[in-house]
Amino acid sequence: MMIVISAIEAGECVVLNSDSQLVKENTRRLSRSATLDGGAVISDGGVTDADRSFDFTAKQVPEETRETLWAMFQSEDCVHLSCTEGVFAGYLQRVRIMASDVNIRFMVYEKLT
């Protein structure tokens, strides 16, 4: 799967090939409150793309790409991620570089397309 991460303000972009399978996963915004009669009330706030995170690993990433990605992680607030699921604005929550492999957690702010 091809993943593109771009920093709009800095004009930087990295392209990664990942063997990770993108799993459709999300959570509902639920809250539960106990009632005086021993029961419970559950409030359902629905589902939004802003509750999603993507975790993926790319292997054999060139050094220049790893350095660009690390610089983006340290200096950029919001970045865009493009993948088979669509285009998302969000944040690089975690970047882990291990030799030539890269592991990333991307926290979605909103789905753009």
In a domain, 29, yes or no: no
How far apart (Å, rounded) are the C-alpha atoms in residues 16 and 58?
A: 6
d(CA 47, CA 44): 9
Does residue 9 form part of some domain?
yes
Q: How far apart are CA 96 and CA 100, in angstroms?
A: 11
Helix (H, G, I), strand (E, B) or coil at 49: helix
107 domain residue, yes or no: yes
Mean pLDDT, residues 59-75: 93
Q: Model confidence over 75-104: pLDDT tens digits?
A: 988 999 999 889 999 999 999 999 999 999
Answering whether pTM is above 0.75, one says yes
Q: pLDDT per residue over 13-64, tens digit each? A: 889 888 776 666 788 899 999 999 999 999 999 998 888 889 889 999 999 9
With respect to residue 28, please indicate whether it lies within any of the assigned structural domains. no
Q: What is the pLDDT of residue 22?
A: 63
Q: Quote the domain boundaries for residue 39.
A: 2-23+34-111
Domain count, the chain: 1
From residue 52, how far is each of 1, 4, 46, 110 by CA, in Å?
Answer: 18, 17, 13, 9
For residue 103, the model assigns a pLDDT of: 92
What pLDDT shows up at residue 26?
81
